[in-house]
Amino acid sequence: MSALVTFRDLIAANRRKSAWLVVGFCVFTTLAILGISLGVIALVAPGALEYWDWRQTAVLTLLAAAISGMVALLAVYRGDRFLLLASGAQPIAKADDPQLYNVVEEVAIAAGIPTPPVYLIDDTAMNAFATGRDPQHAAIAITRGLREKLTRDELQGVIAHEIAHIRNYDIRLMMLLAVLIGTVAVLADFFFQMLRFTGRVRSSSPSGRRRSSAGGGVVALIVTVIALFLALLAPLVAQIIQLAVSRQREYLADATAVELTRNPQGILGALKKLALDTEVLEVANRGTAHMYFVNPIRQYAARGHSIFASHPPIQERIRRLEQLLV
């Protein structure tokens, strides 16, 4: 019973985290848009800030808040489609692979959630991921390599891991984090592009070399420095937070997979096979790597306990699972 309460508490905690993440995402993105927009103005027309009507800041802030809110809603309600499309996953009918669907159905029943639709990624590398916003709107994707190279018990272990992400609401949390990282990165890149552009314009224009008024120049410098700080630091901090959350969720999903299947050997066998797999999943990238069963980008998988690792080391995951056998 205590284990059941723990998992229910986990689901509730993940729901709260998702709600706070949406709020934090909107606030963070609003501030980033506001700061970087003012930075662009400072770069393009330094003197303009001296006469800036700061009531316009309220309008700019509301616009930034509206944009960030729409992006957050888009992440919640359409993020799964974007991820499936980006991975090249295609839906599988039950008639096409009855055994696979039987495995998914039995684990879903054990987890007490609806059976999610299954998608196939046509790649010989072994991997899988779950996506969606809740158990009623979720999906699982596996690679052809995973389907062909694992035994039924091993496949069941991987499917149970992904269904654990669905049941524990990790899919919503991690999808929001992924969109947060992408949005911050786009904002930062936009600022640096403007920085390079205005630098070229000023260097080639005689009027651009003339100094603006002292007051405007000081304000422009301060705003530009703040925007530069945001553009440099925000993506790094956001990514570190995302990856730390991702690593903890993987350990929990491994343990939940054992709870659902009552068979630690299944997921253990799968992890041991994947530890030896050197094939690269071509459709994966750093922005989506945290969604997969194991890190699909092998050069980053070797980072182990680094704060920039999207997954715990496979050997550490194996060690923790083996402790359940003692």
Catalytic residues: 162
Note the Cα 315 to chain centre separation in Å. Answer: 23
Instruction: Extract the tokens encoding 300.
Output: 């980053």
Taking the C-alpha atoms of residue 318 and residue 324, their distance in angstroms, rounded to an integer, is 10
- Residue 143 CA to residue 113 CA, distance in Å, equals 23
What is the distance between the alpha carbons of residues 172 and 11, in angstroms, rounded to a whole number?
11
Please say whether the beta carbons of 177 and 241 come within 8 A.
yes
Helices (H), the chain: 2-44, 55-87, 98-111, 144-149, 152-167, 170-204, 206-209, 214-261, 264-276, 298-301, 314-323
Distance from C-alpha of 262 to C-alpha of 255, rounded to nearest angstrom:
10
C-alpha 180/C-alpha 188 separation (Å) is: 12
CA nearest to 168, candidates 2, 7, 5, 3: 7
Position 25, amino acid: F
Q: What angle do CA 291, 296, 300 make, to 5 degrees?
A: 105
Phi, psi of 293, deg, nearest 5: -60, -45
